Structure 1
């Protein structure tokens, strides 16, 4: 009998932010192109990379969350663990994607990032489960490396 091999299901999403005004004023240009309907990005003219999800600069926070993160939260209630890791160089948009421009007064703004949306969805799902008792533990870590 062949033993089933189970891997850890890791999915990788690439989110590309738009150029910021400073970059535009310095004459910077977008060096990436996106393959319509495919989770693929092309660097320059010939180097293509495929991911599980690719979000181009026009993608809103809500779409990133609903596509790449919300299914992980639903899985938590089926007994799965979930981790979301934002990685990239300084200025690449990690803080914006994860936190956005969140304040308590702006909880429904389109600029709200992943973390506030996760918290909102967690409590929404917990409220649906009246016959369970929950203990919620959350970790948030931001590591900055300056050479």
Structure 2
């Protein structure tokens, strides 16, 4: 794999939504390339995506996982955060999965497209490349797991 460690933590900070702006709420964080500052505390991550980051900006952090899958390893993408923090949007498992603008697609549709494109390329040469692809999507909400 491209990373020196088996776990990488990337954080995405979402901008205020219109309702929050109307209520005159303010962000309590500052973002840098790999750090988030909250009040006097600074937290370091493998990568931090700031307020202006788009779906396309997240993809380079995911690509090494797709590469590792094609090298025979397992991969997990885990989105964590409170309700409304943007997990479903970033993963692309809500309405954003079917957007017409490819730049707005989330992680799941991008991973699927990339994996099927790679499989198609490997099988096109006629050398009998065999692929078994298993995916599992889970959502934990409260104490309930949805598959």
**TM-score of the pair, normalised by structure 2:** 0.85
- Structure 1 equivalent of residue 72 of structure 2: 79
Deviation digits for residues 75-128 of structure 1, max 9, x if unmatched? 11111110000000001000000016121x62x432210000010010111112
Q: Which of 62, 81, 91 matches 2:56?
A: 62
- Structure 2 equivalent of residue 29 of structure 1: 26
Q: Which moved more, 1:125-134 or 1:135-144?
A: 125-134
- Residues 86-125 of structure 1 aligned to structure 2 (within 5 Å): 86-99=79-92, 101-103=96-98, 106=100, 108-125=101-118
Count of aligned pairs between the two proteins = 134
CA distance in 2, matches of 1:8, 1:109: 31
Gaps of 5+ in 2: none
CA distance in 1, matches of 2:35, 2:81: 18
Per the TM alignment, residue 8 of structure 1 is displaced from its structure 2 partner at its CA by 6.3
Superposition misfits of 4+ residues, deviation over 4 angstroms: none
CA distance in 2, matches of 1:125, 1:54: 28
Gaps of 5+ in 1: 1-6
